[in-house]
Chains A and B, each alone.
Chain A
Amino acid sequence: MLFFQVLFRVLQSSDLWNATLGFAALLLLPALGGLISERSGVVNIAMEGMMLTGAYAGVMSALATQSVFGGLMGAMVAGGLMALVHAFISINFKANQIVSGIAINLAALGLTNFLLFVQTGGQGVPSLKDSLRLPNISLGPISHIPFIGPVFFQQNIIFYVAILILIGIQFMLFHTNIGLRIRAVGEHPQAADTAGVNVYLVRYLCVISSGILSGLAGAFLSLGIAGIFNSDMTAGVGFIALAAMIFGKYTPWSTGVACVIFGLGEALSIRLQDSGISPDLLSTVPYILTLIALVGLIGRTTPPAADGVPYYPGSE
């Protein structure tokens, strides 16, 4: 019974919901990145590695340029470059996209550890001073509305950016010409090619976008939430994002909802430390939800028809 008492109390606190939405935003960026890549037909499980690279590059660029904006740029470029590797391997060399993704995740871990050691002489980076961190922003008077204010309008700047990106991607995918082409390429690249769409170009742009979004999420983690870079600091967030994308059936809105659910799971597992149930056990809840989603209990999850299938021009 203690558990339910604690749960009830925790669920009423605005802190919990503020943290939930913060986590959700952190998940949402790589999830949308993966979504856009897979919508174009390239399976991307490398958001984890791209985020980690972005987190590291973000800190290093922020220190080098002494500007948080420089840090953001560095993170997105680094994420984009990792994605470029994945695009090249998947699209031009037509290699197995899962294997490429795993390789990128492992390489990112090794590479960031190596560079961290070399560039700091084994000392690690120091905590960033406030001017190099992504600030929390309170949105004027509405941030003082009881409960609502602290939950929605006292968030990190990247939270608001992520919401705008969510709306932007939803609109882009379903209401613009480029969105039509992305969906066509992901469903039937032969048809898109014969209709005059540049399949390779669309796929490259989508995969690179996934890297930029993941890099941005990495910066959010290192420059925003943590204020420091630690080895393997993403700790699986990129994989939860992957699950959120599948849970969200490859559509932006539902992916956003999935991110909130998974974010709640994360926030709860921290805040229920003293409830009598193991937080480790609690933190498995989002993944169990994912498995349920995969077996189709929450409606059928159908990936784009050509997801993961390399395109050979002239083939049928």
Chain B
Amino acid sequence: MQESMIIAPVAESEVPYAVEMRNIYKAWPGVVANDHVNLRVRKGDIHALVGENGAGKTTLMNILYGLLHQDSGEIYINGQPVHITGPRDAIKMRIGMVHQHFMLIPPLTVAENIVLGHEPGSIASVYDVKKARAAILELSRQYGLPIDPDVRVEKISVGLQQRVEILKMLYRAADILIMDEPTGVLTPQETNELFDVLRGLVAQGKTVIFITHKLREVLALSDTITVLRRGKNAGELLTSGTDQAAIARLMVGREVLLRVEKTPAHPGPTVLHVEDLHAQSDRGQEILHGVSFDVHAGEILGIAGVEGNGQSELLEALTGMRKSTKGQISITQVTDGQPGTTRDITVMNAREERRAGVAHIPEDRRGSGLVLTAPLYDNMILGRQGWPQFSWKDFVLLLRNIASWAKKLVAEFDVRTPSADVPASSLSGGNQQKVIIAREIASDPLVLIAAQPTRGVDIGAIEFIHRRIIEQRDAGKAVLLVSAELDEIRSLSDRIAVMYEGRIVDTVTPDATEEQLGILMTGGTIR
């Protein structure tokens, strides 16, 4: 008996479901991604498909779109059984999909991207620029989605790229629109615009399947909900009859704390001082145009901003992974609330900075946070292998000490693993992140720099990680939090600095509204 049965069921209707997937089973060696999953979507609904990372949402939709093939199970479109062997079949059945990572070809124009595969004329004919442009402008007018068909996709904003993706589906006359995590890259304003667009499409008779793990969006947008947990159905709900806590419970399988509990901060003296920091991007253009801020002991400073406004470069400059071209970074030792010695760390490399007391939870967990193929005990001392308790003269590793250290951290930070000997790659995203957080916090730093600390991490682990970060603040550390999740920034930070085009445009308190933050994040002012 599944828990779903205790929840209000979606009413049976006379009209066949726009999409019905029955008993979908899909496994890879060692992993069952979809374990007899059912999905029913009524025509004209916005249906939210929710679940944690790894719950099998994207797999299920990739099967519906023909990119993957189920091992068993049936699919019905408008009541008719169908076999979808590839995206071309799905397109014929009027199914469209916008992937989380856009499927656009940067050097081609908007028009070329939209008509690709279904160009005007036959496959052998000359590409008809005029006809393609006319078709797109017509669609653009019909659905109220203005776009310039002749500009290259690499030149336009992420929000516009998403619009191109939506037009791509409409150009193929899709009636069933799948959107995989569409709001991850958008500002709050862009998100609201997208929701209006989706509502408009439904009003014109389309059906939308919306994959997300953001509960607020589920409630704001959807009519019906399917919850997946670890590859299985966990519930089927009517949005009007549920709330965030109920959905979260189904997603995780237990009660979860959605709000972060924290006491007011008691900031001490300045620990991290950044002044007029300039740095160049990989392409050699200046991307940080004079960033200045302070982080005090016992305080979390959040940096909000749309991705790509210099946050990554700022993090790299702060942690010794990118040379700054101008400006200064310094840290001050704080003992018993009193400032001590100040050190200039501007030109230090990553190794020297760690020694100086800067801990760093990197934004790219798999790329720069862990050595995925190495065992956990190696990962637990990464960057600190020269410490006297881990090696003799920074030369011969003291394996016994390392093993007991790793064991201790695994227990203390609740890393779910059979042992500390397994490679980091065998852990789930949340547990990998716990390994990094354990390593960084256990080094007892002065400054903790946490970048996207809960990206791709499930709700249960998010709660744990947030608690640990607040503990660090309460222990008197200076914490710098950089995150693309506005909710995370707002619930953890004591002050929020908003970054736009390589500058801190304003610093606000966490009770600033999402609207206000959104305005700042797109270069506006609120005062």
Contacts and interface: CB of A to CB of B under 8 A. Distances in A.
Interface of A: 175-181, 183-184, 187-188, 190-198, 305, 313-314, 316
Contacts of B118: 195-196
- What interface size band does chain B fall in? 20 to 34
B18 interface: no
Interface string B115-148: 0111101111111000000000000000000000
Contact of B91 (A191, A192, A196, A316): A196
B172 interface: yes
B258 to A, nearest CB: 29
Interface of B: 62, 65, 67-68, 86-88, 91, 97, 99-108, 112-113, 116-119, 121-127, 168, 172
21 contacts: A175-B127, A176-B127, A177-B119, A177-B121, A177-B123, A177-B125, A178-B123, A181-B123, A184-B108, A184-B117, A188-B103, A188-B105, A191-B102, A191-B103, A192-B105, A192-B117, A193-B67, A194-B65, A195-B103, A195-B168, A316-B99
Nearest to A198: B88
Contacts of B124: 176-178
Contacts of B168: 195
A177 B122 contact: yes
Nearest to B117: A196
A190 B103 contact: yes
Contacts of B101: 316
Nearest to B115: A180
Contacts of B121: 177
B97 A194 contact: yes
Where chain B touches its partner, the secondary structure class is loop
A313 B105 contact: no
B172 to A, nearest CB: 7
A193 B172 CA distance: 14
A190 B87 CA distance: 10
B180 to A, nearest CB: 10
A191 B105 contact: yes
A195 B117 contact: yes
Nearest to B121: A177
Contacts of A194: 65, 67, 87, 97, 99, 103
B181 to A, nearest CB: 12
A179 B105 contact: no
A180 B107 contact: no
Contacts of A316: 99-101
Given A176-B124, A176-B127, A190-B103, A197 B108 contact: no
B112 to A, nearest CB: 6
A313 B89 CA distance: 14
B178 to A, nearest CB: 11
A177 B65 CA distance: 24
Contacts of A305: 106
A192 B100 CA distance: 16
Q: Which 4 A-B pairs have the closest CB atoms?
A: A196-B117, A191-B103, A314-B67, A177-B119
Contacts of A198: 88
Given A190-B103, A196-B118, A316-B100, 17 more contacts: A176-B127, A177-B121, A177-B123, A178-B124, A180-B127, A181-B116, A181-B123, A184-B105, A184-B116, A184-B117, A188-B105, A191-B116, A194-B97, A195-B117, A196-B91, A196-B117, A198-B88
A250 to B, nearest CB: 12
Nearest to B107: A187
B108 A313 contact: no
A196 B94 CA distance: 12
Given A177-B124, A180-B119, A191 B88 contact: no
Nearest to B67: A314
Given A181-B117, A183-B108, A191-B104, A196 B172 contact: yes
A183 B116 CA distance: 10
B146 to A, nearest CB: 22
Contacts of B67: 193-194, 313-314
B125 A176 contact: yes
Contacts of B99: 194, 316
Contacts of A184: 105, 108, 112, 116-117
Name, among B105, B168, B172, the residue most crowded by chain A CB atoms within 10 Å (CB to CB).
B105
B116 A313 contact: no
Name, among B65, B100, B116, B172, the residue most crowded by chain A CB atoms within 10 Å (CB to CB).
B116
